[in-house]
Amino acid sequence: MGSGRSMRNPFNVQPMPIPHILIALFVVAIWSFNFIAIKVGLAELPPIFMAAVRFALTALPAVFFIKPPAAPFWRVTAYGMLVFGLQFGLLFYGMAIGMSAAVGALALQLSVFVTIGLAWAFRGERMTTLQFVGAGVSALGLVVIATHTGGDLTLAGLLFGLAAAACWGAGNIVGKSLGKVDMLALVVWSSMAAPLPLFVLSYIVEGPQRIAHGVQNVSWLGIGAVAYIVYASTHVGYSLWAWLMARHPAGMVAPFTLLGPVVAALFSAWLLGETFPGWKIGAGLLVLAGLLVNVFGGRVLALVRPRPVAS
């Protein structure tokens, strides 16, 4: 019986349940639109200050009503500093100095490979043949996008975006080490680690005059953008993402974020007027093909591979 199961699914891939796949796609949509909200907010607020406000509002006042997650304090703090403080401090700053919404979404996709690599190195998770093939196909799509970046991308902006991706990947591994905790509690309490360092850094780098000017001149559109970033992207998105990461191998969940550049590019073309030429369609198809291999490849093989005849 064990031999038959091995023949039907030689790659030993356990597909995600359909409801979990839908949750992952929902999170991708939330996070993709988040890049539009970030661009809107950055037009009115200094980047590091906006990141600090984001996580101050994420934690407060919710921290007074939600019990801490059942996990070691230092791990919760490390998760918050990596996934929230460092990732978004770096990302916001990079987008402010030279990175479009679509390119920002692209840069963060390197977190997939950081996550899988760290999971292999420190948690003993192995990358199956199907996941390797899927990641390779998706990587080709990312290469196509990267080689067609235009004048809206600066080297400094890209480097900050890539550093943000590395922090997210490392944070994913810390998140897996927390186990099955209350994910909303994790988001709220880990967010407490980010605001104070970011406010101090904002004061040093951006200065009190720039901060005061942004606060005094922010519009309702800017306030709405920050509200979306706080409550939709952070509270909802990261709670669901951490929930998925706690239940599935990192190599199965992380590739969903490869859809981010495709969806973000669509939002950017529609709402921000960013160009969407034919090469982006081809690159998006490569990214989608790689993701489909990761998610559905094992199930398809199990269906089409002939079962051994019982003797």
Q: Tell me how far CA of residue 293 lies from CA of 14, 131, 138, in angstroms.
A: 13, 7, 10
Question: For residue 3, which amino acid is it?
Answer: S
Residue 45 is classified by DSSP as: S
In a domain, 141, yes or no: no
CB 142 within 8 A of CB 109: yes
In a domain, 234, yes or no: yes
Question: Distance between CA 104 and CA 161 in Å, rounded?
Answer: 6
b/e burial code for range 79-89 (CB count within 10 A of at least 16 → b): bbbbbbbbbbb
| Count of all residues that appear for the chain in the document | 311
Q: Tell me how far CA of residue 211 lies from CA of 53, 101, 216, 263, in angstroms.
A: 11, 23, 9, 32
How does residue 59 score in pLDDT terms, banded at 50, 70 and 90? very high
How does residue 5 score in pLDDT terms, banded at 50, 70 and 90? very low
**Phi/psi at 54 (nearest 5 deg)?**
-55, -50
Question: Distance between CA 191 and CA 67 in Å, rounded?
Answer: 14
**Phi/psi at 14 (nearest 5 deg)?**
-100, 105
In a domain, 293, yes or no: no
Average pLDDT, stretch 154-161?
80
Question: Distance between CA 86 and CA 95 in Å, rounded?
Answer: 14
In a domain, 10, yes or no: no
Opening angle at CA 52, ends 46 and 55, nearest 5: 135
Average pLDDT, stretch 164-176?
87
What tokens were used for 88?
């978004």
How does residue 1 score in pLDDT terms, banded at 50, 70 and 90? very low
Average pLDDT, stretch 200-218?
95
Element (H, E) at 54: helix 47-59
Question: For residue 81, which amino acid is it?
Answer: M
How does residue 272 score in pLDDT terms, banded at 50, 70 and 90? confident
| pLDDT at position 191 | 92
In a domain, 138, yes or no: no
- Give the domain extent around 190: 17-125+153-269
The pTM score is 0.76
Mind listing the pLDDT tens digit for each residue in 88-142? 999 999 999 888 787 788 777 777 767 777 877 777 777 677 777 877 887 787 7
Residue reference for tokens 């198809």: 285
> Could you give the percent of the chain with pLDDT greater than 70?
85
Please choose, from the candidates 45, 145, 159, the residue with its C-alpha nearest in 3D space to the C-alpha of residue 98.
Answer: 159
In a domain, 135, yes or no: no
CB 240 within 8 A of CB 27: yes
In a domain, 50, yes or no: yes
In a domain, 3, yes or no: no
| More confident position, 265 or 50 | 50
Give long-range contacts, CB 8 A cutoff, 24+ apart: 59-64. 59/188, 59/189, 59/191, 59/192, 59/195, 62/188, 62/235, 63/188, 63/189, 63/192
Tally of domains in the chain: 1
Q: Tell me how far CA of residue 141 lies from CA of 159, 212, 282, in angstroms.
A: 20, 42, 8
Q: For the chain, how long is the longest CA-to-CA vector?
A: 81
Question: Distance between CA 308 and CA 8 in Å, rounded?
Answer: 8
Q: At what angle do helices 129-146 and 101-108 cross, to 10 degrees?
A: 150
Mean pLDDT of the chain: 82
